Amino acid sequence: MKFIDEAIIHVKAGDGGNGCISFRREKYVPRGGPDGGDGGHGGHCIVRARTGLTTLMDVRYRKEFKADSGTNGMGKKMFGRRGEDAVIVVPVGTLIKDAASGKVLADMTKPDEEFIVAKGGRGGKGNARFATSTNQAPRKAEEGKPGEEKTIKLELKLLADVGLIGFPNAGKSTLISAISNARPKIADYPFTTKVPHLGVVELGDERSFVVADIPGLIEGAHQGAGMGIQFLKHIERTKVLLHLIDIHGPLHEDPLKAYKTLRAELKAFSPDLLHKPEIIVLTKMDISEVKGKAAKIGKEVFTVSAAKREGLKPLLEKVWSCLCQHT
């Protein structure tokens, strides 16, 4: 399935039905009064968050959502039918913004959460509503109110506890496939991962967390270089960041330089990302000598071989500890 994390759509709530002007006219009922019923309310446009969805593809290609209008009131005090709502189903983690102003209208962070993005018009009152002791035969009724109409922008930010970040071929896909149920494509060329992947890590004792494999960053990603700018926003919701550094190969011979470059890209995109708890991981230790190089960073460093499943348990326990401290 194609990964789409932004969509601009037009929503139109239903109009309210008109109230009815009617008088009771029956044989042997000499004083039949007003009996015009109210119009039905228009349907709402509702955004509903649902688990299991990972893309806005269905929403993006539909473009327009319109709720049903309420029907008009009728005689014998019969009220019009309320219009059916238009339900827009989106993944959990979707931001709803006003397309014109950019104002955030809602942040859908919980399963089955709902937000009325456009309210249906109110149905008009029938003439039975206007009867008084001094006006027993009112000849007026209200028209239904129009439903709200607007253009909104939906922006998906994946919900994950842990974000895997690093340069292309740093070993993120291999790691997430080794520690979780995710099965991303793995190959030995840059930008193998072109969409974020989510995986659930089970530690036992009813301990689990969600990890996201974010496509590789490169220097200048915050300015649009590579694929990083497209996916940096998905890091914003994560609680802990895992910096994956591959010290094998000319690009990553210096782990300190690689670490500083990653940090610089995060800062350029959003300085708040630098305040997230971080864990530094040197990958592919089965094909590299890491002693001495790890010490250059000056912080606690974990070394792993996802292919051989070495060093994973201490790393995952550290991740769990960080999550418990920052929940």
C-alpha span between 268 and 188 (Å, rounded)? 29
Q: What is the mean pLDDT of residues 230-245?
A: 82
Please give the structure tokens belonging to residue 279: 């864990």
| Residue 61: band (very low, low, confident or very high) from pLDDT cuts 50, 70, 90 | confident
Instruction: Supply φ then ψ for residue 223, to 5 degrees.
Output: -100, 5
Lowest model confidence (mean pLDDT) among 52-66, 69-83, 210-224, 253-267:
210-224
Please give the structure tokens belonging to residue 266: 């995060």
> In this structure, are residues 182 and 213 in contact, taking their beta carbons and an 8 Å threshold?
yes
Question: What does pTM read for this prediction?
Answer: 0.71
Q: What is the mean pLDDT of residues 51-66?
A: 85
Which position has the token pair 């348990």? 313
Query: Residue 305's pLDDT is what?
Result: 82
Query: Residue 28's pLDDT is what?
Result: 65
C-alpha span between 80 and 88 (Å, rounded)? 25
| Residue 179: band (very low, low, confident or very high) from pLDDT cuts 50, 70, 90 | confident
The overall average pLDDT reported for the chain is 83
Whether residue 182 is predicted with pLDDT greater than 70 in this model: the reply is no
Q: What is the mean pLDDT of residues 13-22?
A: 96
Q: What is the mean pLDDT of residues 36-43?
A: 97
Whether residue 188 is predicted with pLDDT greater than 50 in this model: the reply is no
| Phi-psi sector, 243: left (phi>0), alpha (psi -120 to 50), beta | beta
Whether residue 26 is predicted with pLDDT greater than 90 in this model: the reply is no
Domains and CATH numbers, the chain: 6-156 (2.70.210.12), 162-325 (3.40.50.300)
Whether residue 237 is predicted with pLDDT greater than 50 in this model: the reply is yes
Tell which residue, 236, 215, 98, has the closest CA to residue 158.
Answer: 236
Tens-place pLDDT, residues 73-115: 999 999 999 999 999 999 888 999 999 999 999 999 999 999 9
Query: Residue 41's pLDDT is what?
Result: 98
Burial grade of 93 (CB within 10 A; 0-12, 13-18, 19 or more): buried
Whether residue 186 is predicted with pLDDT greater than 80 in this model: the reply is no
Q: Considering only residues 247 and 190, tell me which one the structure prediction assigns the higher pLDDT.
A: 247
